[in-house]
Every structure is written in C-alpha cells, then in structure tokens.
Amino acid sequence: MDYILGIETSCDDTGIAICKIENDKIFLVDEVLSSQIDIHKEYGGVVPEVASRLHLKNLPILFNEILNRNNLKPNDFSAIGVTEGPGLKGSLLMGVNFAKGLSFSLNKPLIGVHHIKAHIMASMLDNEELNFPFLAIVVSGGHTEIVKVNSLNDMVVLTRTIDDAAGEAFDKSANLIGFEYPGGAALSKLADSIDKDSENFINFDLPKVMREAEGFSFSGLKTAISLLVKKFEDKLKDDYVKASLCYAIQDSIVDAILYKTKKILKTSDFKNIVLAGGVAANKCLRKRLGELRNVKLYCPNFTHCQDNGAMVSYLAAKMFLEKKFIELNAEVYPRWDI
C-alpha cells in the first residue's frame, strides 16, 4: 500500500489531501482545506502577495493536522504530489517549495501536477465507473475550455475562451449588481430562486455570445450586463427585478457553454461528458448539461469543484503508478497549456 500526499496552492485556497493505492486502485483517505475568501473579500479580489503569505502560514498547519488525524508520519508517504501550474506564481512557489522540502528531507519522489488536469480527473475520483475517453468541459474563474480526454497523457483542447472565463463573468456581473466578492455563487442562488413563469418575471434581453466564432468570449456579455445594470439601477432595489436580471445573466453564460458543447457533440461520438472546475458546482449548468440526449454527465462532488488537495493527490497517485516524477530543480508554470 502506498500513501500519496497532494498539495494545492494555485490561487487562494490551501489544500492538502492523502490518497492511498491498494492493488493499483486509488482511494481518498482524507483532505483538509483552508479558504482565504474572507480575507480577499476586503480587497474585492485575490491579492497575490497576501495569498502567498497565507499559503506559507497554512501549509505546515494543515500538514500536521492531516498527519495527526490519520495517525501518519511524514515518512509513511511514498511520494509528494504538488500543483506545478497553472496559477499565481507566488502561490505556486509556496506549495512547490514546501513539497520540495518534504521530498528532499524524506528522500521521496516529487510529482508535478497540472492544475486543470487535476480538475478534470476529480470526476474520476468521485465516479469510479467513469472511463476514458470522454469530453471535459472545464469552467472556472480563470478557465473556460472544452477538452477531448483520450487518456491521462492524451488531452486535447478543442476550444477555449479568448478573453474572460465564465467564472469571471459570473463574479464580475455579481459585483456590478452589488454582491460581495466573489459573488458568482450568490448570483446563481438568486437566479435559481425565481419562477420564470411568474407574472412578475422580467425578461431581460442579453446577447447570445460568440456563436459562430471558434472560442468562448464573455467580454461582450459583460458590457451588455453593465449597460443593463446602469439602465435599471434604481429598480434593482426590488428583489424580483434583481432576481430576474440574475436569471438572465446565468442563462446567457450557461447558454454559451451549452451551445459550444452541443456543437462539438454533433461531430463526435462521445458517450460521456465531464464538468470540471469551480463553476461545475453551478446547479443550472449541471441540470442543462445533464439533459443532453445520448450522453451521460459526470461531475465531481461539490467539495471537489473548487480548488482542493484531493484532486491533486488523486492525479499524483495516477502519475505515481506510471513513475512520472520531477526533479528538485523543477520550476512552476503560471501559464501551462494542457
């Protein structure tokens, strides 16, 4: 039996998890996570320098916590897995340097994990029956792309955003309406609360974005939302008007993702699709993708949609079985294509 440690510090969440390998099967043992949302909320967004310092503080605390909870010692690990990119450079360096220290002192192999691949593989962690190949829809604050996943080592991006990501569109729209950072989840919750068939429902008209172009784009949608907010600024004090606008925003973002997905499915023979990334927790997106005919939707557990150590530990365990290790002089990759 092998224990694999996973460390995630790509942005503002510090995550550590342990997976174990028994007879080539991988099981999640435990995970701990420290969120920095309440701190960055004061600034209206993630401050890279603050995030880095908090990772430096949180890593040894979480590491000791997970060891004590599971009666393990550092030397019980067979390998150390860590997010190597993409992400904020300072945040990545905190996790990678912590992992390098463990790797060197324990004389254990080091595994560099790709953050987006880990998000994609989170659905395999939570759905044992899921097998390759499948189509992955990656939707987060920094990424919106559709990926053809043939195997662990063969992933091809079919289309991606040319500007803003879907999660960013949610959060920035929420900010325009008056929600506190990050806001996207609160916007979606209010959108889900409204009855579209009610006589009080207001049908806000928002554009269908980038239907004919190859990639995603949400910058034009943000501009249209900004104009609507200014136009109805006084009326947004009414909860139902506000909820109707939230519904329109969510519907437009989800529609863009759904349209591109359907277009790809028409010219392919995928039977399984995976939804990954922070916006994979969006109930409307899950529902509408789940209604697509002739394909089955797989999603991670809600706790594994956000950045977390479990997805890193799981992918590191997969890579451990294939003996894919990195050297102690390995760098971080703030930008790193699949």
| Segments making up each domain of the chain, as ranges | 2-128+303-321, 134-269
Give the pLDDT band (50/70/90) at residue 210.
low
Helix (H) or strand (E) holding 29: strand 25-35
Select from 39, 36, 43, 44 the least CA-distant residue to 15. Answer: 36
Arch. (CATH architecture) of 2-128+303-321? 2-Layer Sandwich (3.30)
Torsion from C-alpha of 119, 120, 123, 128, nearest 10 degrees: -120
pLDDT > 80? residue 204: yes
pLDDT digit string, tens, across residues 304-313: 999 999 999 9
Provide the angle, in degrees to the nearest 10, between the axes of the packed helices 166-177 and 239-266.
170
pLDDT digit string, tens, across residues 25-70: 999 999 999 999 999 998 989 999 999 999 999 999 999 999 999 9
Same fold, 2-128+303-321 and 134-269: yes
pLDDT digit string, tens, across residues 74-126: 999 999 999 999 999 999 999 999 999 999 999 999 999 999 999 999 999 99
Residue 87 region by backbone torsions, left for phi larger than 0, else alpha for psi between -120 and 50, else beta: left
pLDDT of residue 216: 87
Distance CA 3, CA 26 (A): 10
Q: What does the longest C-alpha to C-alpha distance in the chain come to?
A: 67
CATH topology of domain 134-269: Nucleotidyltransferase; domain 5 (3.30.420)
Give the pLDDT band (50/70/90) at residue 160.
very high
With a pLDDT cut of 70, the percent of the chain lying above it is 99
Distance CA 131, CA 112 (A): 23
> Strand order in 110-114's β-sheet?
25-35, 13-22, 2-8, 77-85, 110-114
Select from 66, 81, 76 the least CA-distant residue to 34. Answer: 66
Other CB atoms within 10 A of residue 35 CB: 15
Give the pLDDT band (50/70/90) at residue 222.
confident
pLDDT > 80? residue 227: yes
Bridging pattern class, strands 2-8 and 77-85: parallel
Q: Which DSSP category does 179 fall into?
A: P
pLDDT digit string, tens, across residues 258-292: 999 999 999 999 999 999 999 999 999 999 999 99
Q: Which DSSP category does 124 fall into?
A: H
Helices (H), the chain: 37-40, 48-69, 89-106, 115-126, 166-177, 184-192, 219-231, 239-266, 283-290, 309-321
Instruction: Calculate the alpha carbon distances from 280 to 5, 71, 222, 299, 311 in Å.
Output: 25, 33, 20, 7, 14
Other CB atoms within 10 A of residue 289 CB: 22
Listed in sequence order, the residues at least 6 apart from 205 whose beta carbon sits closer than 8 Å to its beta carbon are 248
Distance CA 91, CA 94 (A): 5
pLDDT > 80? residue 246: yes
Q: Which residue has the higher pLDDT, 135 or 225?
A: 135
Other CB atoms within 10 A of residue 227 CB: 10
Name residue, tokens 């996943």: 149
pLDDT of residue 195: 87
